[in-house]
Amino acid sequence: MPALDLTATTVELTRQLVDIESVSGNEGAIADAVEAALRPLSHLEITRDGDAIVARTQLGRDRRVVIAGHLDTVPVNDNLPSRLDADGILWGRGTADMKAGCAILLKLAAEVTEPALDVTWVWYDHEEVESSLNGLGRIARTRPDLLAADFAILAEPTDAEIEGGCNGTLRVEVRTRGRRSHSARSWAGDNAIHSAAPILALLAGYEAREIEVEGLVYREGLNAVGISGGVAGNVIPDEAVVTVNYRFAPDKSGAEAEAYVRELFAGYDVTLTDLADGARPGLDDPLAQGFVAAIGSDARPKYGWTDVARFSALGIPAVNYGPGDPALAHADDERVPVEHIERCEAGLRAWLTSS
């Protein structure tokens, strides 16, 4: 079994984690390594749930924070093992999303034995695949007691800045119908692809809104992410489907967002295929304000949906804070600056020891 050395630098620990391949569904080895590294630490109470590890301090503090990261990655594409270049950039699958974050959590879990608030450290599985498999979601359903807390931090890549809340997301299929005919006698049919013209025109002309929620400005988006139609090269098609993705600010619920899209495409056959509520930034919470003050940077809005929404659904204010550029998260040239790792580690350590 690959072993993790918690006395190594956090950059070295990141490399050790990155070099244990853990594409979603294959987190067994890395979870074993994390568990084995933590078991000897007497100040932590360890729980294993599938391939997720929960490590809790039990110091009787009156407040508790959950600090979480996922152990899985999207598929490797010739970008392992890791490589540290002369400019202080660590390259490889999982460096940004999000093993540098996981390494910081491991390092601080081991070294901050007497934090100012109780900490629940979580490393979990299946974040990069369909939502129903998500390890954090599984624990929230089956062991919600393990996640009980007053505040949560998710170490997703944020360029080492605090990003509050997240936009919600939904997908609908907007469908047109027509009547088939041979294309040599097209007037005998009714072309469903032609009928999709107003849908695309609406999307092309849509002005995305910017909405302020608790001091952060969330930018929305309404986009076709897929289109299909056609029976054969000589047939007038009787159906076309436009798949539309709406990213909506956390001022509205998923149900409100769905109603908005249904009204926008009134007259078409609209089928909801995917819906995830957003998360309000929670920055009116004193714990969150203390965290922002300790890190010393302004909070920004998070546009992409992240698991902070799972904490939000449990009533726990949550922010994203981690090393790495989110835009590189799934890129083949995924990488993380050493400076980000050091800055996030120092920020979290300062807050945990001073709160």
CA distance 56 to 32: 17
SS3 143: coil
Q: Which is nearer to a copy of itself, 260 or 303 (CB)?
A: 303
What residue has token string 């089928």? Answer: 271
Q: Which residues, numbered 283-342, are part of the site for a copy of itself (CB under 8 A)?
A: 303-305, 327
Q: Which two tokens stand for residue 101?
A: 């974050």
Asked if 252 touches a copy of itself (CB under 8 A), the answer is no
Asked if 161 touches a copy of itself (CB under 8 A), the answer is no
Q: Do the beta carbons of residue 247 and residue 169 sit within 8 Å?
A: yes
Concerning whether 72 is annotated as a catalytic residue, the answer is: yes
Strands ordered across the beta sheet of 45-49: 45-49, 52-56, 118-124, 64-70, 151-154, 318-321, 162-164, 299-301
Binding map of a copy of itself across residues 261-280, x = CB under 8 A, - = no contact: -------------x------
Candidate residues 186, 271, 297, 354; the one interacting with a copy of itself per rule CB under 8 A: 186
Q: Do the beta carbons of residue 355 and residue 116 sit within 8 Å?
A: yes
Q: Which stretch binds a copy of itself (CB under 8 A): 70-78, 201-209, 312-320, 336-344?
A: 201-209
Candidate residues 41, 76, 227, 270; the one interacting with a copy of itself per rule CB under 8 A: 227
Q: Which residues, numbered 78-97, are part of the site for a copy of itself (CB under 8 A)?
A: none
Minimal distance, residue 314 CB to a copy of itself, in Å: 22
Asked if 64 touches a copy of itself (CB under 8 A), the answer is no
Strand partners, 46: 55
Candidate residues 48, 194, 343, 349; the one interacting with a copy of itself per rule CB under 8 A: 194
Q: Which residues, numbered 206-225, are part of the site for a copy of itself (CB under 8 A)?
A: 208, 219, 221, 223-225
Q: Do the beta carbons of residue 94 and residue 18 sit within 8 Å?
A: yes
Cis geometry, peptide bond prior to residue 326 (ω within 30 degrees of 0): no
Q: What are phi and psi of 269, to 5 degrees?
A: -80, 110
Which of 51, 127, 150, 334 is labelled catalytic?
A: 127
Concerning whether 127 is annotated as a catalytic residue, the answer is: yes
Minimal distance, residue 277 CB to a copy of itself, in Å: 15
Question: By C-alpha distance, which of 221, 326, 226 is closest to 278?
Answer: 221
**Terminal Cα-to-Cα distance of the chain (whole angstroms):** 37
Helical H segments across the chain, by residue range: 10-18, 28-38, 100-111, 135-142, 197-205, 254-264, 286-295, 308-313, 338-354
Q: Which stretch binds a copy of itself (CB under 8 A): 18-26, 57-65, 138-146, 232-240?
A: 232-240
Binding site for a copy of itself (CB under 8 A): 167, 169, 171, 182-188, 191, 193-197, 200-201, 203-204, 208, 219, 221, 223-237, 240, 242-243, 245, 247, 274, 303-305, 327
Residues identified as active-site? 72, 127
